[in-house]
Structure 1
């Protein structure tokens, strides 16, 4: 690598770092210079004019410094499949240990999930959002996230990965989406519109270009995603001109985790759909031939607000004097009442009695096809 190539590579690396960290180019250049032992970029330029060139080890150190701002993918090369490689990497969970406690760390839709035995940590794509720490019980001395030292280490790992992911997002977006111009104008990373004032679909207020860019295009008030951010409040009569600034909670508390105790044990919730599914399955258990099977599938099952069940059975498919014993038993097990009635409706196939001759659907189908064919031949003879 020639002297000129190395110097240009340093500027290119600084540009990549600036985009990833959403800072100015000058700030990034100064940080690169500091990594090489200079007080500022201007000092590095003066040294370069005096024939100073970075060594191979120094270049590698700067590349590693910049790489830390990105997901582990090809952060320099602009290959078309770079994003595919990055996505494939993010989809794979990383396994690790903090002390004696194992964890898995993965990325899901740009959110960071860190999961251990009885606990999890979620760091969202939104930079201003508080991390969410979930446990299955109150502090019982067993769950490690209640230990401040462990929690600090775990949050540091999760936040570091979140910074990498955000760096990847910022690099993929246009530069003007994360760096306002001197008038505070920024460009929406998805729509391409440019403005110094923005509006959230869920908040009645204005957002400055600097605010929205710094927060990676998430609403600073409610945290809504870039999909809900627009340069005009088209839902207001005056397009948002009279709206006040978006209200925030003042100080940024995203360093304080939001602890939540959740009970992840499976719970049975008897919805109308689930009750209907069980009752219909029980009717099929009661069916002894194809006709009754069709009757079970064709039955109208209604669940009221108290979860009690009304079953309407087609009399041409289900004998009115036959009680569906299994369905009644299932209802009793669920602690609900069941009412039965016969109805007359349009049945799916002619000659329902054919289904009473067999319990095999295949055999019934052939009987039905033969009957339809015979009926058609009879019609041909009459004509």
Structure 2
């Protein structure tokens, strides 16, 4: 990996870190989202591509920089379809009107997105993929795209823009990438290798040079983008020599429009992380002093496959005869069963009884420091060189 690749990867990781912090998602989620914007299914696939000399173009880096400025609420809620609506304020959006209905048209990483009140039309970069029309749930049949005449005009505008985008892509690529020679040999627009047979990372089959060029380097089987197309099936023992033609879904008419109804209302998905968060919050509600607060924070909380909750409370921090009332109330509200048990482990501070005398963390901290100073020395104090027990003067 040369210095340019290293710099580009570092920049992508920086953007992912900034995106994760701004939107309160994990670094791994942010990396996968960044990879997705570049046409990869996840970050690991992107790293695999970089090992084969792929690097993002300046335009792609600019698009990623614009992407990190957008909110990730739709992804955190498990609704990536709703994300397209968040792009409406980007500067490159084009405003227009069909009849009495306003729309915004824009290009997002080579996909054309047209959006209006309660509807979105997406024409993918992939020429073999059908346009996708999305409407919001609960629009009572009043959405503009449900009118055949309106939809026809909107699709015409979006498709014309998509044709322009694909033309711009072809102009940027080597001529050999879109025009096979007499033997059907074409050149990969990213890797630069030449071949008349190509392989998709996700499909067990061969793709001819003419097929892949005609489809703008998207797999005719699954629609994977150019970074997932290779001249050798390196994941197969025989490098793909025994594979037959890639399978395409003959039942799907790629010229038809795909309709989707998107229910973007917020829904509560009670997974283990959320249940543990609520249980710990309820424990803190039950805590009446610092010792019990520490016990709530120190408690081990686990959730089984049936969403039953196990809570282990530290004997020295939580009174053995105190029932966590708020925990039981919250569990009942969520329809969960709770099992309580006592555990003995290394507690964070000595003299846990000090925490029973106050509800103030600052007051407890001072009492703890005074106790350490009187009986055991300051906490976490490093010994001086003369105290280390060595023979050095």
TM-score where L is the length of structure 1: 0.71
The aligned runs of 1:369-380 (5 Å cut-off) are 369-374=369-374, 375-376=376-377
The match for 1:270 is: 270
How far does residue 198 in structure 1 lie from its aligned partner after superposition? 0.3
Decide whether the 8 Å contact of 1:139 with 1:146 is kept in 2. no
The match for 1:246 is: 246
The aligned runs of 1:323-342 (5 Å cut-off) are 323-342=323-342
Q: Tell me if 1:108 matches 2:125.
A: no
Decide whether the 8 Å contact of 1:128 with 1:252 is kept in 2. no
Provide the alpha-carbon RMSD of the alignment.
Answer: 3.1
Secondary structure of 2:106 counterpart: strand
> For residues 197-222 of structure 1, what are the alpha-carbon distances to aligned partners after superposition, in whole Å with 9 as ceiling and x for unaligned?
10112212111112112212110111
Find the aligned partners of 1:372 and 1:96 in 2 and give their Cα distance: 71
Residue segments in structure 1 that go unaligned for 5+ positions in a row: 1-79
How far does residue 317 in structure 1 lie from its aligned partner after superposition? 1.2
The aligned runs of 1:85-164 (5 Å cut-off) are 91-92=90-91, 93-137=93-137, 140-164=140-164
List, as ranges, runs of 4+ consecutive aligned residues in structure 1 with deviation greater than 6 Å. 80-90, 377-381
CA 101–240 in structure 1, closer or farther in 2 if over 3 Å, else same: same
The match for 2:343 is: 343
Secondary structure of 2:164 counterpart: helix
CA 184–300 in structure 1, closer or farther in 2 if over 3 Å, else same: same
**Rg larger in 1 or in 2?**
1
The match for 2:200 is: 200
Q: Which moved more, 1:167-176 or 1:265-274?
A: 167-176
Decide whether the 8 Å contact of 2:118 with 2:139 is kept in 1. no
Find the aligned partners of 2:272 and 2:60 in 1 and give their Cα distance: 44
Find the aligned partners of 1:252 and 1:127 in 2 and give their Cα distance: 14
The aligned runs of 1:293-332 (5 Å cut-off) are 293-332=293-332
How far does residue 195 in structure 1 lie from its aligned partner after superposition? 1.1
How far does residue 147 in structure 1 lie from its aligned partner after superposition? 1.4
> For residues 315-343 of structure 1, what are the alpha-carbon distances to aligned partners after superposition, in whole Å with 9 as ceiling and x for unaligned?
11111111111111111111212221111
Find the aligned partners of 1:82 and 1:315 in 2 and give their Cα distance: 59
The match for 2:27 is: none
Aligned residues between the structures? 303
Q: Tell me if 1:172 matches 2:183.
A: no
Residue segments in structure 2 that go unaligned for 5+ positions in a row: 1-56, 68-86
CA 138–363 in structure 1, closer or farther in 2 if over 3 Å, else same: closer
Q: Tell me if 1:284 matches 2:308.
A: no
Decide whether the 8 Å contact of 2:355 with 2:364 is kept in 1. yes
Secondary structure of 1:370 counterpart: helix
CA 337–175 in structure 1, closer or farther in 2 if over 3 Å, else same: same
CA 354–167 in structure 1, closer or farther in 2 if over 3 Å, else same: farther
CA 275–264 in structure 1, closer or farther in 2 if over 3 Å, else same: same
TM-score where L is the length of structure 2: 0.69
CA 97–340 in structure 1, closer or farther in 2 if over 3 Å, else same: same
Q: Which moved more, 1:93-102 or 1:326-335?
A: 93-102
> For residues 208-243 of structure 1, what are the alpha-carbon distances to aligned partners after superposition, in whole Å with 9 as ceiling and x for unaligned?
112112212110111011121110112222211222
Decide whether the 8 Å contact of 1:102 with 1:116 is kept in 2. yes
Secondary structure of 2:377 counterpart: helix
Q: Which moved more, 1:111-120 or 1:228-237?
A: 111-120
Secondary structure of 2:364 counterpart: helix
Find the aligned partners of 1:81 and 1:239 in 2 and give their Cα distance: 32
> For residues 331-356 of structure 1, what are the alpha-carbon distances to aligned partners after superposition, in whole Å with 9 as ceiling and x for unaligned?
11112122211111122222222222
How far does residue 313 in structure 1 lie from its aligned partner after superposition? 0.9
Decide whether the 8 Å contact of 2:60 with 2:109 is kept in 1. no
The match for 1:213 is: 213
Q: Which moved more, 1:137-146 or 1:307-316?
A: 137-146
How far does residue 130 in structure 1 lie from its aligned partner after superposition? 0.8
Decide whether the 8 Å contact of 1:138 with 1:261 is kept in 2. no
Find the aligned partners of 1:102 and 1:369 in 2 and give their Cα distance: 66
Secondary structure of 1:261 counterpart: strand
Find the aligned partners of 2:172 and 2:280 in 1 and give their Cα distance: 52
The match for 2:74 is: none
